[in-house]
Structure 1
Amino acid sequence: MPETSEHTSIKKRIEAAKEGQQPASLFPFAGNPRSAIPEGLPLGLQDYLELVDWSGRCLREDKRGAIDQKAPPILERLQIDPRHWLYLNRNFESRFRSLVGAAHSVRAACEHLGKRWAHGIRDCERYFSPPPAS
């Protein structure tokens, strides 16, 4: 699976995205192309994840492996609800003003930084934390 492949940019991007960041060592995503596009890849993270996932499902003789056709889509494997992902893409800056990621990671970062509260923690719980185990 791309998200567990060692030495790949997608793994680095996923790990950084879970912390609400882009990896400094990789070219950033600039979003959708437009006339005054900032420097960066002309697509969003979701488009990139889905492109890699789709490409990895293509069987070719010159590839060592492929993503199993029966594997769930990458957003599902990362436990990100596609409806939440679309909402966050449209409203990210207005919902989060400091730390972003799984709620337990944000709380740990707050404790480490000596912060008592992080703006948007409820949204982190809603959008980035895995569902409770049943």
Structure 2
Amino acid sequence: MTIARAQLVSLNTTAYYHCVSRCVRRAFLCGQDPLTGQSYEHRRHWVEQRILALAKVYCIGICAYAVMNNHYHLVVHINQEKAEQLSDQAVIERWAKEHLLPPQILRYLQGQASTADISICRKIIHLWRERLYSLSWFMKELNFSIARQANKEDQCGGHFWEGRFKSQALLDEKALLAAMAYTDLNPVRAGISPTPETSQYTSIKRRFDSLAHCQSKPQGLLPFAGDTNLDKSDTIPFRLLDYLEWVDWVGRQMREGKTGYIDRHQPAILIRLSLGQKESLELCSRLKQKRCLWIGTSEQLHSVKIKLNKQRIHGLSI
């Protein structure tokens, strides 16, 4: 039975989520049609640019993404506190980047709003503020835009995406690390790219490119803690160089099948998280193999089950 999105996305439990959307036409999202030979690779650029554009509007940070031939992965951080601290003016400015403003809001901005208009505007602004940290709204606007562009290009109508997006709650830093590495390594594991730095339309490629231009914070992506002076609540809780080294190690091991090998150049991040390499490698592999909506320790999964008043949940224990 389908689980309500409100139960899957609980900001009181975690702010980090791994999302996946798959095209109903399978290989015709961004890849090449084997029957006609027509290429749809340009659609991967659509998806990437739309993700980065929406990140400027919503209070939802992009930790990692990978746009594949028939699906895409997103790892996000939902910053409810940031949205609630925005001024009314800031909320309007963010919403106006992607939406037309109603007449009442326009009069409000011009200082010509009546008492009735002001009351309506406050309700509208409150609604927009809530949407700015809504994962469902973010994914809805992302998928709707791509579906409309693709249908227009194909000169057809109907569903473009395979139902609603799938989401997994990442309950701690170990789960976040595994989901990000799993996402960034998708092209390597699929045999599309030999290395992460050559994987087009991925967050890790974007981070590599920024480093090449001496920029520590790629536009549209959430920065890493330790590499910025920003509020720690709006950063990824790892060091960038540690993460890049870790992804490179996991990628080499998974490609060569050496799951039991422990590299002597073990990344420092493993020490901080008390996470073994073999354990991490197995977790990255199991993310796709097992159906799971929550990822964390057995204690964390039990706590979620109690909060949701469930006898059983689809969880992946780490």
Larger Rg: 2
> Which structure features the higher share of strand residues?
2
Q: Structure 2 length normalisation: TM-score?
A: 0.22
